[in-house]
């Protein structure tokens, strides 16, 4: 015996989500299983992350985030924009700013009008132990540290590959190259995601700096694969590049699914991310009553 539960398909700059409302609907107990089933783009609905609305005791709402492999993760910056748009569309809130509890901390999205959301992403985590990464020790930041890949994995790789690492509530590995389209991300992404230097796995961003105010980015997200956009990754890319002095403090990040604006005034200030949030369609998914 099965029962239908409603969902909403959304995306933020091409980073796509299936959202379930756990306040209005009774959801199955095993949400990891639900995520794996509905994630399949041929036999399910397909998504980069599954988002779940829940009540919160420490903020206005709580957002649970599941990858396509069923693993739960700390933060999704494109997801928080879609999540906030859903809350407004569903009339859970009419506030122009709310607090959202995530495993990575409380995040505060603001309505920027015309389907755009501005998010206070808080301070970046620069201490290696807290990212976590073993690429460096001490207080950080972790910038341009040599990193090795398995022999033969990427024969055309630039010599002396170097990585920076930042946490934006979730860990990121940033590598600058001359041309991001030449990176065999389907091979290199998994190797870096599971690299010994990242005990909790890592999201991987390859970047191409176009100017002082513009960067191109490709992302391999842990537990999902290559995605068209990654908001927390864009924030990590911006912070690492600003700390290296190669870009200004307000920049645009070009992603395969769209563009995000990132601003970080100084090391004592929050990172601000502004970008789109779009509803694609509503649907229902059948779950077993004993799920």
Residues marked active site are found at 76, 230
> Per-residue pLDDT tens for 227-257?
999 999 999 999 999 999 999 999 999 999 9
Looking up residue 9, the CATH number of its domain turns out to be: 3.10.310.10
Tens digits of pLDDT across the chain (291 residues): 789 999 999 999 999 999 999 999 999 999 999 999 999 999 999 999 999 999 999 999 999 999 999 999 999 999 999 999 999 999 999 999 999 999 989 999 999 998 999 999 999 999 999 999 999 999 999 999 999 999 899 988 888 899 999 999 999 999 999 999 999 999 999 999 999 999 999 999 999 999 999 999 999 999 999 999 999 999 999 999 999 999 999 999 999 999 999 999 999 999 999 999 999 999 999 998 665
CA–CA separation, 286 vs 53, rounded Å? Answer: 18
Separation of CA 248 from chain center = 22
Tell me, yes or no, whether 9 and 109 share the same domain: yes
Tell me, yes or no, whether 112 and 144 share the same domain: no
Q: CA distances (Å), 86 to each of 105, 124, 166, 237, 277, in order?
A: 20, 26, 29, 27, 9
Give yes or no for a contact between 133 and 196, defined as CB atoms under 8 angstroms apart: no
Tell me, yes or no, whether 156 and 222 share the same domain: yes
Tell me, yes or no, whether 206 and 90 share the same domain: no
Tell me, yes or no, whether 92 and 161 share the same domain: no
Residue 286: count other Cβ atoms within 10 Å of its Cβ. 8
Tell me, yes or no, whether 56 and 144 share the same domain: no
CA–CA separation, 178 vs 173, rounded Å? Answer: 17
Question: Maximum Cα–Cα distance for the chain, whole Å?
Answer: 59
Q: Range of 184's domain?
A: 128-269
Tell me, yes or no, whether 175 and 256 share the same domain: yes
Q: Residue 290 has what pLDDT?
A: 64
Q: CA distances (Å), 19 to each of 11, 143, 229, 255, 283, in order?
A: 10, 35, 17, 22, 10
Instruction: Give kind and range of the element (H or E) at residue 240.
Output: helix 231-244
> Per-residue pLDDT tens for 163-200?
999 999 999 999 999 999 999 999 999 999 999 999 99
Q: Residue 139 has what pLDDT?
A: 95
Q: Residue 232 has what pLDDT?
A: 94
Of 70, 63, 51, which Cα lies nearest the Cα of 103? Answer: 63
């Amino acid at each position: 015996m099965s029962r239908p539960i409603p969902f909403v398909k959304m995306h933020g700059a091409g980073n796509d989500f299936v959202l379930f409302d756990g306040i209005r609907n009774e959801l199955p107990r095993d949400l990891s299983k639900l995520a794996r089933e509905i994630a399949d783009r041929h036999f399910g609905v397909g998504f980069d992350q599954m988002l779940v609305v829940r009540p919160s005791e420490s903020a206005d709402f709580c957002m649970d985030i599941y990858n396509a492999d069923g693993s739960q993760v700390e933060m999704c910056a494109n997801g928080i924009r879609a999540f906030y748009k859903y809350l407004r569309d569903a009339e859970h809130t009419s506030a122009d700013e709310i607090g959202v509890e995530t495993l990575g901390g409380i995040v505060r999205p603001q309505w920027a009008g015309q389907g755009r959301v501005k998010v206070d992403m808080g301070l970046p985590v620069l201490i290696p132990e807290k990212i976590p990464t073993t690429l460096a020790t001490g207080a950080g930041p972790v910038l341009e540290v040599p990193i090795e890949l398995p022999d033969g994995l990427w024969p055309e790789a630039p010599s002396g590959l170097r990585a920076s690492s930042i946490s934006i509530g979730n860990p990121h590995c940033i590598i600058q190259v001359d041309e991001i389209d030449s990176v065999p991300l389907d091979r290199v992404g998994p190797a870096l995601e599971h690299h010994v230097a990242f005990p909790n796995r890592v999201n991987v961003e390859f970047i191409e700096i176009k100017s002082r105010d513009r960067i191109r980015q490709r992302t391999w997200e842990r537990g999902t694969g290559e995605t068209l956009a990654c908001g927390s990754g864009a924030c990590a890319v911006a912070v690492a590049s600003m700390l290296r002095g190669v870009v200004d403090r307000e920049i645009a990040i070009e992603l395969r699914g769209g563009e995000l604006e990132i601003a970080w005034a100084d090391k004592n200030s929050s990172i601000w991310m502004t970008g789109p949030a779009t509803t694609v369609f509503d649907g229902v998914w059948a779950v077993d009553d004993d799920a």
